[in-house]
């Protein structure tokens, strides 16, 4: 059971304009027939607008899952004004009943009736599971016979799924990829999913659902949709992603058995998501780049992802320092990107840049330095210039483009390391922005 709704909690779920319209609908009494369903543990209500719309709301410890049959519901990321009005009505009912449980307050059923409904529901579910088991047994027996005949006919043996795949409805799947950083440890990639025949529903327990898909078992979502392996199927691309997710779970189990501490922090555990194993990161991102996916991190949402294996989009600025004969290296551009150390990728918006082992090491060192100093500016004193140019510049050049302000080019010629600096600039392996720095040969 979720915590009691408050007006402030409801307000955060909507844009200001949608919330105001919802308040207006609520105050004008447009919400009718609000009833709590003890079997589905959800609320149902009707809202009068240009027509009568039906709203279903499910509240639990994971959050709020809602649906409305109005045209605007599927067009935006946030729920509609009808949902806002219903949530306000639920909040009013809870406050009037002093926070008593919904089953006792709003359910029109007695305890005996609720128990009978639950028992009937369980009985129907068991009968349906038995029917599906018998159907699968019949199909499997037919498959074995076909396989026996094919063996004598020297024909390739058919795959189990082939005889039953015809006529199935292909489900729509929405993948939501998230970058998550726990309080301690490295950032990880999480994947959530929504699935349905046309309208998609949040998969609240993704591993439980994928196991049901793998085992060819039915799985209930709401009163409007239940997954049935005899009626529903997935696209080839979605099947590949599902296989990757199940492999990720298996890899993590093996890793936990081999190591005292595994890569995934326990606080990340969320029944809605699965952590992508670093072993599958390259194949996973390549698959995500092929089809529609929503990427969420840092409070932003992006449609689709792209994977790059070329030059990193980084610019490192070398400029004059505050002290005489000192310089500073600005690393801010690197810090604006997300570094996925476990996976070997640097992320800019929805672009994933694959890092070489050397690039990973250099970026890791830079990140550790900034974390220690809490300052993206690296100060370089006069006596540090020569080792900086000799050892740091070539490595920095591998993770980005080094820019040196032209107005300070003469300063470098005054240092004892001038010849060393000119030699570094002449190296073919270094890439400098020649529109910014120009050094005359003596």
- Tell me, yes or no, whether 135 and 215 share the same domain: no
Show the domain range for 380. Answer: 315-426
- Percent of residues, the chain, with pLDDT higher than 90: 24
Q: Which residues of 191-215 are buried (b: 16+ CB within 10 A; e: fewer)?
A: bbbebbeeebbbbbebeebbebbee
437 assigned to some structural domain: no
pLDDT for 172: 93
- Tell me, yes or no, whether 180 and 283 share the same domain: yes
Q: Model confidence over 245-304: pLDDT tens digits? A: 998 888 777 656 544 434 444 434 568 888 888 888 899 999 999 888 999 988 889 999
Mean pLDDT across the chain: 75
Contacts for 401 with CB less than 8 Å, ≥ 6 apart: 314, 315, 316, 431, 432, 433
- Tell me, yes or no, whether 203 and 277 share the same domain: yes
- Tell me, yes or no, whether 415 and 325 share the same domain: yes
- Tell me, yes or no, whether 193 and 290 share the same domain: yes
- Tell me, yes or no, whether 184 and 291 share the same domain: yes
Task: Region of 36 please: left (phi>0), alpha (psi -120 to 50) or beta.
Answer: beta
Mean pLDDT of 199-225: 90
288 assigned to some structural domain: yes
227 assigned to some structural domain: yes
- Tell me, yes or no, whether 181 and 248 share the same domain: yes
142/332: higher pLDDT: 332
- Tell me, yes or no, whether 136 and 89 share the same domain: no
434 assigned to some structural domain: no
- Tell me, yes or no, whether 137 and 21 share the same domain: no
pLDDT for 93: 80
Cβ–Cβ < 8 Å for 190, 274 = yes
- Tell me, yes or no, whether 410 and 341 share the same domain: yes
Q: How many domains does the chain have?
A: 4
pTM beyond 0.85: no
Strand extents, DSSP E, 321-442: 327-330, 338-340, 345-348, 351-354, 377-380, 401-404
433 assigned to some structural domain: no
394 assigned to some structural domain: yes
- Tell me, yes or no, whether 194 and 273 share the same domain: yes
- Tell me, yes or no, whether 292 and 202 share the same domain: yes
């Amino acid at each position: 059971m979720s915590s009691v709704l408050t007006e402030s909690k409801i307000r955060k779920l909507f844009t200001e304009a949608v919330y105001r319209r919802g308040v207006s609908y609520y105050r004008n009494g447009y919400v009718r027939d609000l009833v709590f369903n003890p079997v589905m543990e959800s609320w149902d209500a009707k809202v009068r607008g240009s027509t009568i719309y039906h709203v279903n709301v499910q509240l639990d410890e994971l959050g709020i899952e809602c649906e409305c049959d109005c045209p605007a519901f599927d067009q935006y990321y946030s729920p509609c004004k009808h949902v806002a009005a219903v949530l306000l009505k639920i909040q009013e009912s809870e406050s009037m009943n002093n926070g008593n449980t919904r089953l006792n307050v709003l359910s029109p059923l007695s305890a005996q009736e609720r128990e009978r409904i639950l028992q009937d529901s369980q009985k129907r579910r068991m009968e349906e599971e038995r029917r599906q088991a018998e159907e699968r047994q019949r199909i499997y027996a037919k498959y074995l016979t076909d396989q026996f005949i094919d063996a004598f006919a020297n024909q390739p043996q058919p795959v189990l799924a082939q005889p039953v795949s015809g006529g199935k409805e292909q489900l729509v799947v929405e993948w939501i990829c998230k970058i998550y950083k726990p309080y301690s440890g490295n950032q990880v990639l999480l994947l959530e999913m929504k699935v349905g025949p046309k309208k998609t529903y949040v998969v609240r327990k993704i591993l439980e659902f994928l196991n049901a898909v793998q085992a060819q078992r039915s799985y209930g979502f709401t009163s409007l949709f239940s997954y049935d392996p005899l009626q529903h199927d997935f696209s080839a691309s979605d099947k590949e992603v599902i296989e990757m997710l199940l492999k990720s779970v298996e890899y993590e189990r093996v890793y936990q058995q081999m190591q005292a501490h595994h890569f995934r922090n326990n606080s990340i555990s969320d029944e809605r998501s699965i952590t992508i194993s670093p072993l599958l990161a390259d194949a996973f991102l390549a698959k995500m780049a092929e089809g529609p996916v929503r990427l969420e991190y840092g409070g932003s949402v992006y449609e689709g992802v792209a994977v790059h294996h070329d030059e990193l989009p980084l610019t490192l600025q070398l400029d004059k320092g505050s002290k005489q004969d000192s310089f500073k290296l600005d690393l801010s551009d690197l810090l604006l990107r997300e570094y996925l150390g476990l996976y070997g990728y640097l992320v800019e918006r929805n672009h994933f840049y694959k890092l070489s082992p050397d690039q990973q090491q250099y970026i890791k060192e830079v990140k550790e330095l900034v974390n220690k100093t809490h300052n993206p500016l690296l100060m370089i004193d006069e006596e540090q210039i020569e080792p900086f140019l000799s050892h740091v510049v070539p490595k920095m050049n591998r993770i980005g483009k080094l820019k040196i302000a032209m107005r300070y080019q003469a300063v470098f010629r005054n240092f004892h390391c001038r010849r060393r600096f000119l030699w570094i600039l002449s190296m073919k392996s270094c890439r400098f922005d020649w529109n910014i720095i120009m050094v005359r040969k003596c």
